[in-house]
A and B are shown apart, each in its own frame.
Chain A
């Protein structure tokens, strides 16, 4: 299998991740509840995962990392924990449904929304976001990179705009965590959601939210935290406040192993490798006449995601043929991001997405180029 669907989930997982999950299932009890050795082992797995996330994102205090079931849960917590009726939020036209759908629900409850469409070059302009801000603006939401076409956004510039106007910045780093260097405090990020199973190479079902010091959100769920148990109220300390219920300990053990693997290579190294493969892929796709390529220019800032359509094939058929005939895994459709597809003019047809990861190789890219070329030529013949 040639795997070019890393934007959906990374594959294969490093052997250490699989071993860590298995070992945790065999050795971990419920963290933070009982005091026996299995429970304490469970707590150690969780804390080590917290430390690994903090190290990866250069966050001094690991307790500012809240674990969730994934980036979607983290984004829901951030959006619904910050925004109240009457508030205004600015968001980009590249956002995933994990942002768009919660925002639409909040809109029905009285939150006001303003979308900033991409500029002609595909980027989200901080100046345009500034123009959209009103006195009621509480939050700017920006995806670090589009999961549809890889457009990489300038987080620091958007943070400056948000803070100049007294608003917070929420970053969706689902596509970039582990693939693009991120130093959350240095980039002045207030809130950042990340997925554990993509660039961080962990298992599915884990993710988290970074909450900068001094920021307190409303809770999305309440329940047992293993702390302040006699109190009827949710504790106000992190991470307990936002981690009710038993955590996915084995998943977090796998997440820690995935992050340690990423750190052993270096995010900067992974980024450079992916960029080299990305340029090779785009340059090759540009040589295929019967192919529409979407997204930013080849040398623009972008993550390892490419969107295209082959003339004469709908994207689903192209993806199916790539798998059946060439054993190449891709993803076709709207990628749960209809806003981004609307912006790039593919809302009705969708697109074929090729996405790279830490395990991608030159052979993967060249095989995909050969297969897509063959499909395009067959249709032309």
Chain B
């Protein structure tokens, strides 16, 4: 799974809605502290199969992806 972090929760919500309108459901979660991702503290979580759609939707909506990272495995201790 991949995580996409953004500067604003509103951006996360907008992208999630855009993707939903395109027929893709993407999870919105709190950014795990272990990733130390900057931004609003929320991110989109999706499988590799949807990563391309997220990048394309962000570009179309003129929203910068702040950070993209592999989601940590469950049980990873906080840094």
Which DSSP category, helix, strand, loop or mixed, fits chain B's interface?
mixed
Are A35 and B30 neighbours in the complex by a CB distance under 8 Å? yes
Measured in the bound complex, the distance between the Cα atoms of B41 and A43 in whole Å is: 13
| Chain A nearest Cβ from B56, distance in angstroms | 16
Are B10 and A63 neighbours in the complex by a CB distance under 8 Å? yes
Are B40 and A226 neighbours in the complex by a CB distance under 8 Å? yes
Are A43 and B38 neighbours in the complex by a CB distance under 8 Å? no
When A32-B40, A35-B41, A61-B61 are in contact, do A227 and B13 touch as well, CB less than 8 Å? Answer: no
Q: Which residues of chain A (51-91) have a CB below 8 Å from chain B?
A: 51, 61-63
Are A63 and B9 neighbours in the complex by a CB distance under 8 Å? no
Which listed segment binds B: A17-25, A200-208, A233-241, A354-362? Answer: A233-241
Q: Mark A222-235, 1 if CB is under 8 A from B, else 0.
A: 00011111100001
The total of Cβ contacts below 8 Å across the A-B interface reads 58
Q: Is A197 an interface residue (CB 8 A)?
A: no
Q: Which residues of chain A (229-264) have a CB below 8 Å from chain B?
A: 229-230, 235, 237-240
| Chain A nearest Cβ from B3, distance in angstroms | 14
Are A50 and B7 neighbours in the complex by a CB distance under 8 Å? no
Q: Which of A51, A213, A227, A238 contacts B9 (CB 8 A)?
A: A227
When A35-B30, A230-B38 are in contact, do A62 and B14 touch as well, CB less than 8 Å? Answer: yes
Are A235 and B14 neighbours in the complex by a CB distance under 8 Å? no
Which residues does chain B contribute within 8 Å of A240, judged by CB atoms? Answer: 7-8, 10, 40
Measured in the bound complex, the distance between the Cα atoms of B29 and A95 in whole Å is: 45
Are B8 and A51 neighbours in the complex by a CB distance under 8 Å? no
Are B8 and A227 neighbours in the complex by a CB distance under 8 Å? yes
Are B13 and A43 neighbours in the complex by a CB distance under 8 Å? yes
Which residues does chain A contribute within 8 Å of B61, judged by CB atoms? Answer: 61
Are A228 and B14 neighbours in the complex by a CB distance under 8 Å? no
Which residues does chain B contribute within 8 Å of A40, judged by CB atoms? Answer: 28
Which residues does chain B contribute within 8 Å of A239, judged by CB atoms? Answer: 8, 10
Q: Is A31 an interface residue (CB 8 A)?
A: yes
Q: Which residues of chain B (1-60) have a CB below 8 Å from chain A?
A: 7-11, 13-14, 17, 28-30, 38-42
Are A227 and B30 neighbours in the complex by a CB distance under 8 Å? no
> Which of B9, B29, B41 has the most chain A CB within a 10 Å cutoff?
B9
Which residues does chain A contribute within 8 Å of B9, judged by CB atoms? Answer: 31-32, 43, 226-227
Which residues does chain B contribute within 8 Å of A63, judged by CB atoms? Answer: 8, 10-11, 14
Please list the 7 inter-chain residue pairs (A to B) with the smallest Cβ-Cβ separation, ordered nearest first: A35-B30, A227-B40, A47-B13, A32-B9, A240-B8, A227-B8, A237-B7
